[in-house]
Amino acid sequence: MICHRILLTLSFLLLVNYSLSSQVQAPTKVSKWSLWEATLKSNRKYFNPFTEVAIIATFRSPSGKTLTVEGFYDGDRIWKVRFMPDEVGQWRWFIRAEPSDERLSASGRFECVPSKLRGPLKVYLQNPLWFSFADGTPVYLLSFHLWNLDAMDEKTLAKTLDFLKAQGFNAIVGPHLTPERTAWESLPDGRKDFERFNLSVWQGLDKALKLMAEKGFVLIPFNIIGGTNGLPKVPDENRLDLLLRYWVARWQGFWNATFQPTSEWEEGYSEQEILQIGHTLHELTQGRFLISVHSLKANSENVQRARWFDYHTVQDKLDDWNFGKFLWFAELFRKVAKPIFAHECLWEGNFHQREAGLDVDNMRRTAWTIALSGGQINYADEVVPPRKWRRREDVGVTFSELGMATKPLGQLYSTLSYLASFMRSLPFWRMQPHPELASTKICLAKVGQTYAVYSPHGDKIQLDLTKILGEFKARWFNPRTGKWVDGGSIFASGVREFLAPDDGDWVLLLQRQGELGERISQ
């Protein structure tokens, strides 16, 4: 009789477990670093499903480590859990709802198999000037600003990404949300409901992230939480915490996600507020994704030195012809040794930059000054026809404005393609800015091994090779054409002079014999 009751109890438990697990749709096999997603649907109707129930998911890795993440509401009584496995082998997962909702509880297993993905973006450990993927592969970022990323149809976005990839781009900055398109639902009077989220925006970003992941693009957000650039600011800590949790829950399964909460933070937040926001994001993402915050002035060392602050994201509008202003990147890195992302420095046609931002020679010199001063580039094409700077009232005529055009009007694409190809031909991950070594002050080098020096006007370059021994191969790279000119071989000794092939701008590449040909594929 006792045995019979035990069997009945076990049968009931197995039936309950099967019943609960059968409520969930979840893959049983997934590639390393790719998206694992579980979908659950409740029978209950919640007044506000964003706040009345929390979904908690626990994952146990093949090596025995445990990770706990949150799920999110996605409309129509559907909740989802997203996760990015980083170990090959058998994983176990457990999902529960708080307060309890049996339709939102389940458990199971999945097999994580090897893949060609390299994992999320990280800071390169051996040289923090640069980024790498999680597998250690160094990466030089060339990014494009897409304002309307969340609202682009898939065909247009795919065509845009294909065009950009062919030019050497591998990252996107966006979206540039507006008061009409924010993270939250709108009330009838136009105010925002900070406890309900705008699913059309979030689901649009999901589609963009998935397509970008397929095509190898990393996403760097421009402004998600508001508070600047005309977007409303969350009025209290509890609702801000709700937003940050929801954001992380939606994006934590994408290898190509990064977290940058707001633009020009100094315009809407105190230093203490930003430090707390960054800390919260770091705790929620468990250190698995890069975090930064876009700065107007880049002068808060408390923010720059914060544990969660992974890289500098800076702006310095090109409102005159002084491309040499970007030499300050070398000083910034020496002060706080983290990667430098030149976020708003190269916006062709931007109304703040006017004629200086339409002078292609000036912008090309700016791009190369940024790159060989240790910066990584974000470019925006804001030109309108006839070729002039953008006015605020101009509407979508280029990729950057609304992402609807298929023929960009900017003229810097070929230059940036040459620049990306050049940088990726170098062992850039071994190099750092050394303005003190070159007469032009624009020098990226691994001292004693590799030197890349920019000459903006074909000037004679003096390069300090004091205390360096060995034979070097000299080559000249033409940023205007993407072509190389042989410069012969030299023996290092003291300060050497090099004369550019003509009075245009040139890059001198000096590599120790035996170092030639070291590069990565991207």
Structure tokens at 102: 């049996």
> Is 121 in contact with 258 (CB distance < 8 Å)?
yes
Residues 6+ positions from 321 with CB-CB distance below 8 Å = 356, 359, 362
pLDDT score at 519: 43
DSSP 261: -
> Which conformational region is residue 229 in: left (phi greater than 0), alpha (psi within -120 to 50 degrees), or beta?
left
CA dihedral 40, 42, 43, 47 (to 10 degrees): -150
pLDDT score at 382: 84
> Which conformational region is residue 298 in: left (phi greater than 0), alpha (psi within -120 to 50 degrees), or beta?
left
Distance in angstroms (rounded) separating the CA atoms of residues 210 and 149:
12
Distance in angstroms (rounded) separating the CA atoms of residues 212 and 214:
5
Distance in angstroms (rounded) separating the CA atoms of residues 152 and 57:
32
Residues of the chain with pLDDT under 70: 1-22, 392-407, 514-522
> Which conformational region is residue 365 in: left (phi greater than 0), alpha (psi within -120 to 50 degrees), or beta?
alpha
pLDDT score at 517: 42
DSSP secondary structure string for all residues of 122-171:
EE-TT-TTSEEETTS-EE--EEEE-TTGGG--HHHHHHHHHHHHHTT--E
pLDDT score at 349: 86
Q: What is the pTM of this model?
A: 0.92
Distance in angstroms (rounded) separating the CA atoms of residues 379 and 365:
14
pLDDT score at 5: 39
Residues 6+ positions from 242 with CB-CB distance below 8 Å = 50, 51, 194, 195
Rounded to a whole number of angstroms, the CA Rg of the chain reads 26
Distance in angstroms (rounded) separating the CA atoms of residues 507 and 456:
8
Distances (CA, A) of 420 to 170, 439, 521: 10, 24, 12
pLDDT score at 405: 57
pLDDT score at 391: 72
pLDDT score at 323: 87
- The burial of 270, by beta-carbon neighbours within 10 Å (0-12 exposed, 13-18 middle, 19 or more buried), is given as exposed
Three-state DSSP class for residue 290 = coil
